[in-house]
Chains A and B, each alone.
Chain A
Amino acid sequence: MNMTRSLLLRRTLVYAFMICTALLTVAPFLLVISTSLKTMNDINMDGPLALPHVFHWENYSRIWEVGNFLTYYKNSVIVTVVVVVLVVLLSMLGAYPFAFMKFRGKSIFFLIVLWGLTVPLDLIIIPLFNNLRSMGLLNTIWALILPQIAMNIPFSIFLLRGFMKDIPYALLESARIDGSTEAKNLYHIIMPMLYPPMVSLIVFTAIGTWNNFMLPTILIQNDALRTLPVGLNYFQTKFTMDYPMIATAAVVSALPAALAYIIFQRKIISGVMVGALKE
């Protein structure tokens, strides 16, 4: 009896603790959603915690007029899609020789990949800015796309190579004896077996590119080319005191990622984990 009671008490405590933490974690989002449906008057009168009396949905139609969020969406989508597609393509090609082919200088090439894993953007951003300027790419969408492809390649090659090496070598050997070419091997034998790491790679690269802030902040000065995080930051400096509008902007900016998370929840979670824990 005593035993079960203390057990019950402990379970209740654990649940209470977990629920409180979960609520605290989600609370900022709920507060922001509530604020996005108020006016500045409501906030002045009732404080920031009160629920809105009337839902001011018009904030959500006004936001498109005062901020260029549609443009920011469009840019973020373009940059993310192009970066993900090219990273997948280039790193698949790049990982294949590391896993299955013999060539001179393999260790040096692989050292470069390992080096690339720990390079922070800070180390390359200063010359990058000037190089892009002299190439005439500064303030174009390519200034966002090309460097981000490069920065994602080391991790992607590393990840895919790790998974490719788990594929039995005999499979390739027999295909080679049958006279298949390397390109065909990659396409017909290897690619179909890489489904889990591919999902992971796409999720990782997409989240990273979608949320990247430092690179576009530095390389883009033109409002028509801003991506979502940069656009939101620009917007908040323009509307410093208009909290409902900033809240609306935050909700509108979070929406695509939040929707993607809700829809692809399991894929995203397992993708992020495989990416982080492989080797």
Chain B
Amino acid sequence: MRQEAMPQQRRTFRRRGAEKTNPLAYLFLLPAFAMLALFMIWPALQTVYISMTNWDGISPKKFIGLQNYIHLFTDEPMFLQAIKNTLLWVVGGATIPVGLGLIFANLLVRGNIRFTKWFQMGFFFPQIISSVIAAVIWKWIYDPSFGPLSTILDHLGIARPMTGWLGNPDLVMYALFVIFVWGSFGYTTMLFTAALQSVDSQLYDAANIDGCSAWGQFWNVTIPGLRQTMTTVIILMTISSFSVFDIVMATTKGGPGYSSYVISYYVYTQGFIVNRLGFAAAASIIMTLFILIVSRTIIWMRERDQS
């Protein structure tokens, strides 16, 4: 959605060209761009430089070129684990909540369900609450000795991991991802519901007359009608998956060991706990590049589809 403005932007130019500058424009832009320059552009440039130094936050910076980047990829299992976890999270985050949103929106709109508003409100509620509150609640739910989940499974006689879900290196990422899905599927449902309501209902009538099954209608009418929204939602979910931090910080702090490290949490610990600022800066740049590449690719794929 955001990047789409580019072609439109070019059009504006042709129409109104910069043939006469109104100096007042700069006065209007000044406060906003002063803030941007001071608190975003300048720090971003500094990060690029810091990522090429061995800075520890106190002693003077020493320029070491791309060594941090090389080290990160060759000699830093913690970072590789963080990348692996983050990429898995992105793959899951860009598909599962999107799929669930599609299903629920479809049921809400096409299923002729009553109380739609109430269902939506219920689904959407976790989105309003800060993810820290969600993390605190779920940390307790997952607790192996006092948590509701263990109690329920014990009652049903289903075996469960003794260390709990957050204490098990193989399960911890899935357990955390469940929190993310719980918090975000109401949002995707909401966005798809709005988009679905604007799909021409005559298309469905026509499909009905042609003897198209509900499943066929979903594939042939709903999905094409929602293409635009789907790209938007996928990009939103991708970006929020890449920058996951709150859930990890408020539950496992990357543990057990470093099995639940994500890139954002790695940046935080390297930059502010162990004071390896060069590494942290390099990791944050890798993360930014990932976000750019992935969201660009999604947009490019859509534009290719359209033409």
Interface of A toward B, CB cutoff 8 Å: 11, 14-15, 17-18, 21-22, 25-26, 28-29, 31-32, 35, 43, 47-49, 89-91, 93-94, 96-97, 101-107, 109-110, 112, 114, 116-131, 146-147, 149-151, 153-155, 157-158, 162, 165, 182, 207, 210-211, 213-214, 217-218, 228-230, 232-233, 236, 243, 246-247, 249-250, 253-254, 257-258, 260-261, 265, 268-269, 272-273, 276-279
A22 near B123: Cβ-Cβ < 8 Å: yes
A253 near B133: Cβ-Cβ < 8 Å: yes
Known contacts A124-B40, A146-B35, A211-B132; 6 further A-B pairs (Cβ under 8 A): A96-B28, A97-B26, A114-B3, A125-B284, A233-B132, A253-B132
Provided the pairs A125-B267, A126-B47 are in contact, do residues A28 and B107 lie with their beta carbons within 8 angstroms? no
Q: B86 CB to closest chain A CB, in angstroms?
A: 11
Q: A60 CB to closest chain B CB, in angstroms?
A: 16
CB-CB < 8 A to B63: which residues of A? Answer: none
Most buried by A among B4, B119, B143, B233: B119
A116 and B42 CA atoms in complex are apart in Å by 12
A250 near B151: Cβ-Cβ < 8 Å: no
CB-CB < 8 A to A243: which residues of B? Answer: 140, 143, 146
Provided the pairs A17-B107, A119-B40, A146-B35 are in contact, do residues A277 and B195 lie with their beta carbons within 8 angstroms? yes
Residue from the list A94, A101, A107, A258 in contact with B22, Cβ < 8 A? A101
Q: A238 CB to closest chain B CB, in angstroms?
A: 12
How many chain B residues touch A (CB < 8 A): the figure is 108
Selected A-B contacts with CB under 8 Å, 16 pairs: A28-B141, A35-B140, A102-B19, A106-B18, A109-B29, A117-B2, A118-B292, A125-B267, A126-B47, A162-B5, A217-B268, A243-B140, A253-B133, A260-B128, A265-B121, A278-B1
Q: Is B165 an interface residue (CB 8 A)?
A: no
Provided the pairs A21-B123, A243-B146, A269-B120 are in contact, do residues A47 and B151 lie with their beta carbons within 8 angstroms? yes
Q: Is B291 an interface residue (CB 8 A)?
A: yes
Q: Is B89 an interface residue (CB 8 A)?
A: no
A128 near B125: Cβ-Cβ < 8 Å: no
Closest to B13 in A: A107
A211 near B130: Cβ-Cβ < 8 Å: yes
| Main DSSP-derived SS at the A contact region | helix
Closest to A28 in B: B137
A93 and B27 CA atoms in complex are apart in Å by 9
B35 near A90: Cβ-Cβ < 8 Å: yes
Please choose the segment from B72-80, B168-176, B216-224, B243-251 that sits at the chain A interface, where 4 or more of its residues have CB less than 8 A away. Answer: B243-251
Interface residues of B in 265-307 (CB under 8 A from A): 267-268, 271-272, 277, 280-281, 283-285, 287-288, 291-292, 295
CB-CB < 8 A to A146: which residues of B? Answer: 35, 38-39
B136 near A233: Cβ-Cβ < 8 Å: yes
Closest to A213 in B: B246
Please choose the segment from B91-99, B156-164, B186-194, B201-209 that sits at the chain A interface, where 4 or more of its residues have CB less than 8 A away. Answer: B186-194
| Main DSSP-derived SS at the B contact region | helix
Interface of B toward A, CB cutoff 8 Å: 1-6, 8-9, 12-13, 16-26, 28-29, 31-33, 35-36, 38-44, 46-47, 50, 57, 104, 107-108, 111, 113, 118-134, 136-141, 143, 146-148, 151-152, 182, 186-187, 190-191, 194-195, 229, 232-233, 236, 239, 242-243, 245-246, 249-250, 263-264, 267-268, 271-272, 277, 280-281, 283-285, 287-288, 291-292, 295
Closest to B250 in A: A233
Number of A-B contacts (CB under 8 A): 292
List the 7 closest pairs (A to B, CB-CB), nearest first.
A94-B32, A150-B39, A127-B46, A211-B130, A103-B25, A97-B25, A124-B43
A172 and B289 CA atoms in complex are apart in Å by 41
A91 near B136: Cβ-Cβ < 8 Å: no
A74 and B232 CA atoms in complex are apart in Å by 35
Provided the pairs A122-B267, A276-B1 are in contact, do residues A157 and B125 lie with their beta carbons within 8 angstroms? no
Q: B304 CB to closest chain A CB, in angstroms?
A: 19
Q: A219 CB to closest chain B CB, in angstroms?
A: 10
CB-CB < 8 A to B121: which residues of A? Answer: 265
A120 near B3: Cβ-Cβ < 8 Å: no
B284 near A123: Cβ-Cβ < 8 Å: yes
Residue from the list B26, B104, B141, B187 in contact with A31, Cβ < 8 A? B141
B271 near A91: Cβ-Cβ < 8 Å: no
Closest to B242 in A: A120
B21 near A31: Cβ-Cβ < 8 Å: no
B5 near A279: Cβ-Cβ < 8 Å: yes
B1 near A279: Cβ-Cβ < 8 Å: yes
A116 and B2 CA atoms in complex are apart in Å by 11
